[in-house]
Chain A
Amino acid sequence: MDVSSLLQSSLSTDQSIREDATRKLEQLAQENYAAYVSLLNQVFATEQADPTLRQLAGLALKNSLTAKDTTRKEEYAQRWLSIDQGIRSQVKQDALKTFGSSGISRSTAPQVVSAIAEIELPANQWSELIPTLLDNVTNQESALHRQASLQALGYICESTEPMVLAVNANEILTAVVQGARKEETNDDVRLEALHALYNSLEFIRANFDREGERNFIMQVVCEATQSTDERIQLAAFECLVRIMHLYYDKMRFYMEKALFGLTVLGMNSEHSGVALQAVEFWSTVCDEELELQEEANEALDMGEQPERVSFDFAKTAAPEILPVLLWMLTQQEEEADEDEWNIAMAAGTCLALLAQTITDHIVPPVIPFVESNIQSTDWRYREAAVMAFGSILEGPNPQILTPLVNQALPTLINMMRDPDVNVKDTVTWTLGRVSDVLVECIKPDIHLPQLISALVLGLQDNPRIVGNCCWSLMNLAEQLSSVEDADADTSLLSRYFDGVITALLRITDRPDNEANSRTSAYEAVSTFVSTAAKDCYSNIEKVAITVLERLEHTLSVQNQIVGSDEMNAHYELQSNLLSVLTNCVRKLGKNIASIADRIMTVFLQILNSQSKHSTTKEDVFIGVGALISALESDFSRYLEPFIPILYSALQNPEEYQLCGIAVGLIGDICRALGENSVQYCNAFMELLIQNLQSPVLHRNVKPAILSCFGDVALAIGGQFESFLNITMMVLQQAGNMRADKTNLDMIEYVNQLHEGNVEAYVGIVQGLSSGGKTPLIAPYVPGIFTFLNIVAEDEYKSDTLVRSLAGLIGDLADALYATDGKQFFQVEWVNRTLREARSSRHYSQSTKEVARWAKEMVKRTLQS
């Protein structure tokens, strides 16, 4: 069957014909990609062919070149580059010729061109493409052809690395700006040019730095906001938002000359899309100014001048934009969809950002709006009033807000009974904000009883408001529990514990999770449990038993569940329950012993069930970790049934998250059992080393494996001797890893790897020394010091890495006391590293303490 017929059949109404055709096409692509591409191209490029078929061929061509998944994308790129130059040239020429062809979708040919460009440009091929497209934009008579060329440019700018395109930045910019000018009479062309401009903004930084070019770009964009075509206005505003985000520092002049006026006008536009983008513009201004404030604070901390300054645009504009924002808050949709983004929502977010940016200045203009509308008969005004109030709670000085919140609290609590669900939802959110950031306004004797009963009542209300009720309760629990004393005898919330938990568990009894209400309630239960005071411990045990019963029930019905949605809901419920149970175990510690058998039975049942759901298994592993830490050596009676499961997780690197937790569990077991863990250590070490060397295992697990060597050594002390040689060898290999200084991900990863490495050395040195086998490390000391020197000189090292490093230096000094090893400390970098660690303000208190201790140990050893 030829390609045309296959394409035709792939649209058949008969499912079997359709599937058969699709399969055959895939087969063809796999067997002979070059032939496949040529065949598709023939159909696509033939003007006389059936338009539907041409369209299909074009899309199939594009889909064979690019994919969302990065691995497959890379595969496709290699496949394309490996076929014959001639075929590739033919496809490229034909695609460019198809620009402006009538009959097929306008975007298909530009998409094909861009997909090829994305592969070839970074490989320094198809260098004539950009000039060709630019020539089209400048010289083509056909508007359709010009439009398609701009579209292709836009796609290319969007998908290709800015670095690759920077060499062509000048030409691209010239072509794009030319198309975006008001002199361009074809609106479709101008629109496409603005989209391309939007996508090129990031890599034309050099052009934007030059005043003349910048002025011209800004002029073109500003003029476009005045077009009569709404699509062009919208595209122009989108450009302004992005320009503000990318080039805030250059905006002072344009703000004064035009942007203030344009965007305030834009907020009042009849076209809601334009108004939305104008609000976004001001939200972006706030984003940038908040970041600048943060930078300025950091610089102040360091006693330096900030590199960039805020122009306080938001403060200047506030009197003009605030009235519009407040009005916009009243333009809510009746039944706003979760994913919707409308003017009222954008205005709410903008108001909150503005409050953070201009702080105290937001209060006087907003409060009258709140006061005059909070009791309106129209729900829109009531909701807007509460939204405005809730949005300004972060930013202004708490001393200014406190009397206002004190005054408003009784009203807000009352409004939990508002007839409108939108109002109630916003009221609950606002109460949640108060509980979060201004909890001192909630007087335990005056407001707390009413607030909690209103929230508990709200839990029985519409699922939409349940989430925010739970959030408020969580904030109260976190803020009102004693911060200094994690295990206080009692707390302000103790008397409410039982009532709140009962109400929360009642919601979670519902079969559904509408509006995330069940998950929210379980999260709230967890927070209440983990912040509870001692007088609630007996209630926590009851919570644990209830949750355990529910978990047992989910297991008993597991086999009756059909349908993937139901199955997912089932697993999510199990995750929720496991998470609460884990928190109960962590809180109760040893006191969990009386129900530990039952918990472990359920854990093992889930792990041994047929279910292959990895998240649930992860949650059980996390629960097991909590149980090990709680029971310590008493956990050993569960090891026999659990160890095989642990081993099989460690032998399955594909499920790397689970494997990572399993590595952590080895550490937990070692800490809990101490020397008694020695019987498992052969197997542990073998699996750990296998995983470390596995090319399949996700790299994020590897630093944890290194730390785990240390955990094993700490636990078994001198008996680590038999693993010493192999461990030191792999540690040295791992220590040779270096990061490319331009790759932030890699820098972070190598940091973690080094941290794991240092922790391993710490465990080994401390372990051997406690087992009286310190001399065994002597042959490895020079290697360790070489590694430490490199880590110490790394300018990107984190606080935790510095702490581990200083600690290890101290441990080594202790181990090498009165030996030849003291020469290793007579180097300048040891002294300098410790001095920096105990005096630099970058480091935490605990790092400084460790460094001070290490300094004394080094001093002692040097004097020995």
Chain B
Amino acid sequence: MKTESQAEKRKSISELHRSRYKRNSISKNADESRRRRLAIDQALRRKHREQLITAKRFRHLTQQEEYESAGEEEGDHHISYELTAGDISKIEEELKSNNHEVRLDAAKFLSRALFDPSKALRDFVVDGDCVNILTQLLTSGDAEEQLQAVVCITNISAGSYELCIKATPTIPYLISYLNESNIALQDQSGWALGNMAVEGDEIRNMLRRNGVVSPLIKLLDATDSHLVQTACFALSNLARGPDAKLEEFFEAGIVPKLTSHLINNTPDTVTEICWVLSYLTAGTDQFIGKVVEQGVVPLLVQNLESLQAQGPLALPLIRTFGNIASGPDEYTDVLISQDRFLPGLVALCNSECRPVKKESLWVLSNITASRRPEVLEKVIQAGAIPVLTEIASHTNFDIRKEAAFSLTNIACHGDKYIQALPNNVLLPGYLEFVRSEDPELIKLGLTYLQLLLTHVPQGKALMQAIPDSIYSLESVTLSTHSDLCRTASVLMDTYFGENNEGVEQDILA
């Protein structure tokens, strides 16, 4: 009927809006789901067809053409097809060619293919003759070919263990190149050795036995900042693990060499230096002492401000501070005696970069963990409490937790400290910890509630003012973790039980 259709048309804009009300993506009727099923079916078929025709295409390009076609876009030198066994034997032949240009091109191509090796190429490295042929290039005496071979080895050693271990026979050559005067070769060899060092204790031992530490540390004398950074990359990988034999590093005089680069250098280099320091200080107190005694701390603090705005580049610096602060009290004192240290650290706690924020909070919790009044006073003076309070009551749980550790460290120190905290702001946040499912968070929350109830006169009233807070505490008494359950039960009985109004009892005593 005309009249109906006219009404329909007049409603059309409304219809459009009606269909958006509480819209969700579920098909509203059989027709709609049918259309979707057909569309998905067609899209999948198109995908299968394209996969088939594309697979036949790229294989037709020679390596040189592939290289040129990719070269049009900067930096994107990856090879876009899977090399087959046939392709590999062709490369193998070319690598053995009598013609220098052919060998060089083949090595260049191989190094790119090794970024993301195909099955056939992995077989060539693991079971085939790849490393032997590369070793022949290393001994050829031609610097260009040596360099390309080392690039290949770098990429092999960046792969999985089964690939990396195959590259280890070349270690003596690589170490000898560290002493050459060819900066490109030195740099590439350092990089390859650094890649190997990541792979685990077995290969690190191999490298040490071959005497890698001393020549690497000698590279720190270089003036080329790129080379210094590569040396640091390799050294920090070598300094990893429980069995890193750090004595050798100190005996070779690593600390003064590192320190010299901390003065007036770019953030890139400072960061690499700090990575090495963070591994040197990650071990025993003895090694932390050796670093601190040589006067590194003031130089590190000098770099704090310039790294603040650099996001993740500040991480190794922060980690080094954290390692130092985890040592004996006198090391912490060296840190906080630097006037710019604590304010700088508090500022880092407000960083936009999440890992920086988190690790800075961890450092602060290491510092406050000493629970010495003079330390806590300095922390408070540096403006930490408002910053920590803000973090502990907003943002994400993992970050809040780190801030909460410091606050609890401060609160533990006595009435004066806990009463100085903005407990009305903090309490709701800590209650959320109590309500979480993570035992560590619950424990943190309970510790705070206990301190609040025992050391803050209006603590109980604060709790009662928040709906559900007592219910949250009570729910922990059902926890399967016995210590949490016990603490919560005692708190409930003591403060919110039926009979014992106001009985004071230090339950953690």
Contact = CB atoms under 8 A, between A and B. Distances in A.
A276 B5 CA distance: 21
B92 to A, nearest CB: 24
B48 A341 contact: no
B45 A579 contact: no
A158 B9 CA distance: 8
Interface in A255-296: 276, 280, 283-284, 287
Interface string B114-149: 000000000000000000000000000000000000
B20 A352 contact: yes
A238 B25 CA distance: 30
B38 A618 contact: yes
A456 interface: no
Interface in B47-95: 48-50, 52-54, 56-58, 60-61, 65-66, 68-70, 72, 80
A615 B25 contact: no
A711 interface: yes
A599 interface: no
Nearest to A339: B18
Contacts of A114: 2
Given A615-B34, A810-B57, A714 B52 contact: yes
Interface in A225-251: 238, 241-242, 245
B26 A516 contact: yes
B28 interface: yes
A467 interface: yes
B14 A341 contact: yes
Nearest to A523: B26
B116 to A, nearest CB: 14
A127 B57 CA distance: 63
B80 A432 contact: no
A781 B54 CA distance: 22
A855 B69 contact: yes
A775 interface: no
Interface in B282-303: none
Interface size class of B (residues with CB under 8 A): 35 or more
A850 B13 contact: no
A615 B32 CA distance: 12
A241 B58 CA distance: 56
A850 B60 contact: no
B17 A852 contact: no
Contacts of B30: 572, 575, 615
Contacts of A321: none
Contacts of B66: 856
A212 interface: no
A657 B69 contact: no
A471 interface: yes
A661 B16 CA distance: 31
A393 interface: no
A519 B26 contact: yes
Interface in A333-375: 341, 345-346, 348-350, 352-353
A852 B72 contact: yes
Interface string A67-91: 0000000000000000000000000
Contact of B61 (A341, A445, A579, A853): A853
B27 A519 contact: yes
B56 A766 contact: yes
B21 interface: yes
B370 interface: no
A668 B21 contact: no
Contacts of B56: 766, 770
B26 A471 contact: yes
A835 to B, nearest CB: 11
A759 B26 contact: no
Nearest to A472: B24
B83 to A, nearest CB: 16
Given A198-B10, A345-B21, A471-B26, A403 B49 contact: no
B60 to A, nearest CB: 5
A80 B392 CA distance: 81
B136 to A, nearest CB: 31
A664 interface: yes
A599 B354 CA distance: 50
B437 interface: yes
A707 interface: yes
A443 B70 contact: no
Given A345-B18, A403-B394, A467 B26 contact: yes
Contacts of A671: 48-49, 52
A618 B397 contact: no
Nearest to B3: A107
Given A429-B24, A579-B33, A849 B45 contact: no
Contacts, number: 165
Contacts of B44: 586, 625, 629
A807 B53 contact: yes
A211 B16 CA distance: 30
Nearest to B395: A403
A445 B72 contact: no
A463 interface: no
A761 B479 CA distance: 69
A154 B34 contact: no
A426 B53 contact: no
B26 A470 contact: yes
B436 interface: yes
Contact of B13 (A241, A353, A446): A241
Interface in B387-434: 394-397
Given A245-B13, A629-B48, A711-B49, A850 B57 contact: yes
Contacts of B54: 807, 850
Interface string B474-491: 000000000000000000
Contact of A759 (B14, B25, B49, B437): B49
Contacts of A807: 53-54, 57
B431 to A, nearest CB: 11
A348 B26 contact: no
A625 B45 contact: yes
A475 B23 CA distance: 13
Nearest to A572: B30
B209 interface: no
Contacts of A856: 61, 65-66, 68-69
Contact of A111 (B2, B18, B53, B65): B2
B438 A445 contact: yes
Given A445-B436, A519-B26, A856-B69, A280 B17 contact: yes
Contacts of A349: 17-18, 20-21
Contact of B69 (A238, A467, A852): A852
A858 B72 CA distance: 16
Nearest to B45: A664
A452 interface: no
A346 B6 contact: no
Nearest to B53: A762
Contacts of A353: 17, 20
A857 interface: yes
Contacts of B18: 341, 345, 349
B61 A857 contact: yes
Contact of B60 (A410, A516, A579, A814): A814
A379 to B, nearest CB: 16
B37 A622 contact: yes
Interface in B322-341: none
Contacts of B46: 800
25 contacts: A155-B2, A158-B5, A238-B10, A242-B13, A276-B14, A283-B13, A341-B14, A345-B21, A349-B20, A353-B20, A406-B396, A443-B396, A446-B437, A474-B25, A475-B25, A579-B33, A615-B30, A622-B38, A668-B45, A668-B48, A714-B52, A714-B53, A852-B70, A853-B57, A856-B69
Given A245-B13, A276-B14, A618-B37, 13 more contacts: A107-B2, A107-B3, A155-B6, A159-B5, A199-B6, A349-B21, A426-B22, A671-B48, A714-B53, A766-B56, A807-B53, A846-B50, A850-B54
9 smallest beta-carbon distances between A and B, as pairs: A471-B24, A856-B69, A856-B65, A852-B69, A349-B17, A622-B41, A111-B2, A345-B21, A341-B18
